């Protein structure tokens, strides 16, 4: 089973991860001061449900054995998690104004749909180029 985990930075400065999909009538969520901490908390919530179900029913539903998680980031969360990406260089790569890109990264401005698509296309292109590189 595949679930989509939405990663966002909240107005309180914390990162949250949640999924609207349920498994065995349970939802999952995670919180933290960074995306990395929120992800660990999210994954822990899944493990806690598995343990609880095992205690209550004696079995873990098959959905958990084949669970695949797709993380869907807002821009602030993406650049928090992939903090090794140089935002200015990425902006040049994507053909986006560097100042605007820094604002998107810090949550001071929000990219429209067209710009978000351009950023995603650049991320995918960069990933393809990295995966095809050899040393």
- Write the pLDDT tens digit of every residue in 67-116: 999 999 999 999 999 999 999 999 999 999 999 999 999 999 999 999 99
Domain presence at residue 67:
yes
Q: Check residue 59 and give its pLDDT.
A: 86
> Is 67 in the same domain as 10?
yes
Q: Is residue 107 domain-shared with residue 50, that is, in the same domain?
A: no
Q: Please check whether residues 61 and 93 belong to one and the same domain.
A: no
Q: What is the pTM of this model?
A: 0.86
Range of the domain at 127: 85-132
Is residue 33 a part of any domain in this protein? Answer: yes
Torsions phi, psi of 112, nearest 5? -75, 175
- Check whether residue 67 and residue 25 sit in a common domain: yes
Domain endpoint, select from 26, 50, 75 = 75
Q: What is the DSSP string of 30-89?
A: EEESSHHHHHHHHHHHHHHHHHHHHHHHS---HHHHT-EEEEEE-HHHHHHHTTTS-HHH
């Amino acid at each position: 089973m595949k679930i989509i985990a939405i990663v966002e930075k909240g107005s309180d400065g914390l990162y949250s991860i949640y999924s609207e999909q349920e498994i065995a009538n349970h939802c999952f969520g995670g919180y933290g001061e960074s995306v990395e901490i929120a992800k660990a908390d999210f994954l822990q919530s899944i493990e806690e449900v598995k343990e609880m179900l095992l205690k209550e029913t004696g079995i873990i539903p098959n959905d958990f054995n084949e669970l695949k998680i797709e993380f869907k980031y807002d821009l602030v969360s993406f650049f928090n998690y992939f903090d090794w990406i140089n935002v200015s260089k990425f902006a040049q790569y994507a053909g986006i104004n560097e100042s605007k890109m820094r604002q998107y990264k810090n949550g001071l401005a929000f990219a429209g749909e067209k710009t978000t698509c351009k950023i995603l296309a650049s991320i995918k292109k960069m990933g393809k180029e990295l995966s095809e590189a050899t040393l």
